Structure 1
């Protein structure tokens, strides 16, 4: 009985630690708009960076790499939101800093169009 209890407590603690670490690495903006967009043809093999009007305290801006699996879809959403001034919610990974600047640019995790 004690061994079973120990295993359940250990498993619960492990799940808590894993889920809290995943959560801690992601930052989400409130409703905002994209106010700056830069595309680099050489740096990072085609990195794109952008900033928003209401950033989080942990992310100065956001970046995507040409090698990212969702690059084309994300770039399309970023361009559409930028040109139409549509409201978006941006989620960034604050543990994957962009090396192209001394400011803290978070790796884009997700971008959501807000109606």
Structure 2
């Protein structure tokens, strides 16, 4: 019985340390910076910084080089940036962007708000 109890504690501790991505709902904001990288470990990635950040995504948002919808996300971000339009960006708090130790969330959806 004691052995079963120890195994249960081990699994509980293990499961509590497994990373789980949380969905982070963005706030209505404007884009203050759009950047991409031509070389290095994050070549091809896009980062977006916003004026009104939300908890967990304080540094902004990113789209990885191999993400489906990368071109569409860049198009919408640049359109909103140049027009000064409001946006709402929703994302995942993990995995974090490899290009920084700051809190960048992975973009799940990007909306222009009129």
- Would the TM-score normalized by the shorter structure come out above 0.5? yes
Q: Does 1:41 align with 2:38?
A: yes
TM-score, normalised to structure 1's length? 0.75
Find the counterpart in structure 1 of residue 14 from structure 2: none
Find the counterpart in structure 1 of residue 92 from structure 2: 93
Please identify, of 43-52 and 89-98, the stretch whose mean Cα deviation from structure 2 is larger. Answer: 43-52
Q: CA deviation at 1:104?
A: 1.0
Find the counterpart in structure 2 of residue 5 from structure 1: none
2:101 aligned counterpart, secondary structure: coil
**Matches of 1:55 and 1:92, distance apart in 2:** 12
Displaced runs of 4 or more, over 4 A? none
**Matches of 1:82 and 1:97, distance apart in 2:** 23
Q: CA deviation at 1:45?
A: 3.2
Residues 64-92 of structure 1 show CA distances to partners (whole Å, capped at 9, x for unaligned) of 12211101111100110111110010001
TM-score, normalised to structure 2's length? 0.76
**Matches of 2:84 and 2:74, distance apart in 1:** 15
Find the counterpart in structure 2 of residue 106 from structure 1: 105
Unaligned runs of 5+ in 1: 1-21
1:55 aligned counterpart, secondary structure: coil
Q: For 1:71-86, list aligned pairs within 5 A.
A: 71-86=70-85
Q: Does 1:57 align with 2:36?
A: no
Unaligned runs of 5+ in 2: 1-19
